[in-house]
Amino acid sequence: MCGIVGAVAINNVVPILLEGLQRLEYRGYDSAGLVVSHEGLQRLRTTGRVLELQKLAETQQVHGYAGIAHTRWATHGAPSERNAHPHFSGSKEQNSRIAVVHNGIIENYESMRERLQNEGYWFVSDTDTEAIAHLVASNLKKIPDLLEAVCASIAELRGAFAIAVMEETRPDKIVVARNGAPLLLGLGASGNYAASDVSALLKATKNMIYLEDGDVAELTNIGYRIVNCQQGEAVHQVERTVHETQLSSEAIELGPYAHYMQKEIFEQPSAVANTLEMVLNAQSISPNLFGSEAENIFAQTRSILILACGTSYHAGLVARYWLETVAGLPCNVEIASEYRYRDPIADAGTLVVSISQSGETADTLAAMNYAKQLGHPYSLAICNVAESALIRQADLRFLTRAGPEIGVASTKAFTTQLASLLLLTATLAKMRQKLSTETELRIIADLRHLPVAIQHALQVEPQVKAWAKSFAQKRHALFLGRGVHYPIAMEGALKLKEISYIHAEAYAAGELKHGPLALVDSEMPVVAIAPNDQLLGKLKSNLQEVHARGGELYVFADADAQITPGENLHVIRLLEHGGLLSPILHTIPLQLLAYHVALERGTDVDKPRNLAKAVTVE
């Protein structure tokens, strides 16, 4: 959530700042702003989209050679211009010396605000961010170097945050700091930059430095320096590796698609193929796919603990069925934000698997670290971002090569996570002698065919689109699944409510008689996942219970599931029977349903209200 862009260059940085903010729009925001250094600090803020900020900059002819910019997702204080970033220090804007943008939450801002007010600083917003600006200004009175003043300031802050700071008497530099929220540097021929995400800087450079917690960096147009000032440690200069990102600007372009979500749904065959590239031409499954230490760690593994949030949590729930059935390993799946505040029992034989698209999800990172503190010795990260904190902090790692996912509603990240988790299941099963050579070869063949099978699943789009016209008029919906497809029903319900704002709930179909059946009437559509597996007969009985009570059924079935359409019973048949991979294939039409229902309702598909792509604060 939120986005930071900073630049110091030999040319006007306003176009770079605005381009960067546009690239960060997918993270979710309710206001935007920038400040540049030109005969003082010139600030623009708006509660509109970045396009509105761009129009303001053009109208007022704002330009400068150093600047910071921000898209805000409200935490403290309602969305408004006075709460939008950047925030200044001082009682009057024209006398302000410090400008700050900030991602994250400052937990001790109230006591800090009271102290700074007693020092004479005047607060004009409801945000925790403004306290940072005044704190830096206060420290600058005692510490004349801006970088050192920022170091002193972050030592007093509690919480996860990333900040960028400017000072009007130092127009040739910006200072940035990271602690628990993503922030990176970009090094270019004509300047140096900072941002929350690689995508914001691709037009300026491909050379990136990923800051670590406690890092504070000073940027000028000809160089940079980084120090680390973790609380309780002496400030010392550090070297960080420069990476050349493999992400291309074309990868984050919309291309011929109407929305990023649509693009990402149809990228799933190639995303899964890229994720499984090392397996598709192999004749056996190797633990080395998960890291050089994987064989040793997997040999000690007696159970699995999966930590994740949102869509990634649903992927973990599917994996539990696979791990217990195929690999014979006990598996527990925890919502990361809940796990980190419980007192669970640690087992040294448990492998902790953390799943995240961004690798910067605050709760998942904290939960993984908490598990290690409790006594879980080994962790595995399944993530889509190679340079993320989750990947860096885990003992083992598997990269889902889905490419950048811009739409807030996760699609290709989910299916690549499922493919990765099935590969993990097969690897653990093989090491435990639970997988015959014949079964191993069949799983490899199924994974090799998976991109084609997903392509076939996408072909049901015209039928789903026809359903969407009537479905869009509804206010509530139930999603039903059984066994390993119950988490897929949960994911389908989540997608629908995320982008169409229709209230949707998912239930294990066997639970209908335990309460949800009371909701069923002609105005409550019921979406069911009906694969031809051992639970199909049970599911058909559940569907009859809905039909008998006047409910309208929308069923996604395997071709051979023998469910016949009729009055108030709509059926779309997938072209393939997925077998072990069935949960992945049945995900595709549910994504398409949510997308087309949202289109019918006219909602903002890629940037749904109140939501952010990467949840980097609690």
The yes-or-no verdict on residue 562 having pLDDT over 80 is: no
Q: What average pLDDT score do residues 76-83 get? A: 83
Helix (H, G, I), strand (E, B) or coil at 168: coil
- CA torsion, points 153, 155, 157, 159, in degrees to nearest 10? 140
Distance in angstroms (rounded) separating the CA atoms of residues 11 and 1: 29
Q: Which residues pair with 571 in a beta bridge?
A: 555
Q: What average pLDDT score do residues 83-97 get? A: 70
The yes-or-no verdict on residue 92 having pLDDT over 50 is: no
Domain 461-601 in the same topology as domain 260-457: yes
Domain 3-252 has CATH 3.40.50.300: no
The yes-or-no verdict on residue 411 having pLDDT over 70 is: yes
The confidence score (pLDDT) of residue 94 equals 37
- Residues involved in catalysis: 2, 613
The confidence score (pLDDT) of residue 231 equals 57
Q: What average pLDDT score do residues 475-481 get? A: 92
Q: What average pLDDT score do residues 492-519 get? A: 86
Domain 461-601 has CATH 3.40.50.10490: yes
Q: Which residue has the tokens 């960080």?
A: 240
Reported as a pLDDT band with limits 50, 70 and 90, residue 93 is very low
Q: Where are the domains of the chain?
A: 3-252, 260-457, 461-601
Residue predicted with more confidence, 26 or 405: 405
Q: How far is CA 407 from CA 17, 256, 387, 401, in A?
A: 21, 15, 20, 16
Per mean pLDDT, which of 77-81, 356-360, 457-461, 556-560 is the most reliable? 457-461
Reported as a pLDDT band with limits 50, 70 and 90, residue 293 is very high
The confidence score (pLDDT) of residue 616 equals 57
Q: What average pLDDT score do residues 142-171 get? A: 92
| Fold of the CATH domain 260-457 | Rossmann fold (3.40.50)
Least confident of 22-31, 209-218, 444-453, 490-499: 22-31
Distance of CA 47 to the CA centre of its chain: 23
Reported as a pLDDT band with limits 50, 70 and 90, residue 183 is very high
- CA torsion, points 163, 167, 170, 176, in degrees to nearest 10? 0
Residues 6+ apart with CB under 8 A from 446: 579, 580, 581
Reported as a pLDDT band with limits 50, 70 and 90, residue 259 is very high
Reported as a pLDDT band with limits 50, 70 and 90, residue 72 is confident
The yes-or-no verdict on residue 197 having pLDDT over 50 is: yes
Over the stretch 3-20, which tens digit does the pLDDT of each residue have? 899 999 999 999 999 999
